Structure 1
Amino acid sequence: MRINRDKIGCSSTANMDLFEEMWRKGNAKKSISIVLRIIAEFAELNCNSLLHCKDSLL
């Protein structure tokens, strides 16, 4: 399982590495919590990007 790592922060990359390792070991419960962390970080990045765009338009 490979994940596209374009346009992501350092902690997302580290979390993805951890996710892939847990997935290979078959530890689905830990894998899901890592995925939730990645999603939360993406949501925060997107929110910050939108706020930045809004501020630059004003």
Structure 2
Amino acid sequence: SLETFRPLLDGTTNWPALLEELEKINYRGFLTFEYFHPYPHYPEALVWQTSDSLDRILGRKR
């Protein structure tokens, strides 16, 4: 259901393991996200939160 989508770092995905597997196959493509249940007010906050999460996942920010 669309109501069960969670912010990137709020789920159970093992991001370090996933990135390790992408590295093993020499993946150099895009990483994208989709959300179907944005915040009802200030939806741009979701963009900033997701951007920050991707930076952390990719090791660009700690």
TM-score, structure 1 as length reference: 0.39
Instruction: Point out the structure with the larger helix share.
Output: 1
For CA contacts below 8 A with separation 6 or more, give which structure has more relative contact order.
2
TM-score, structure 2 as length reference: 0.37
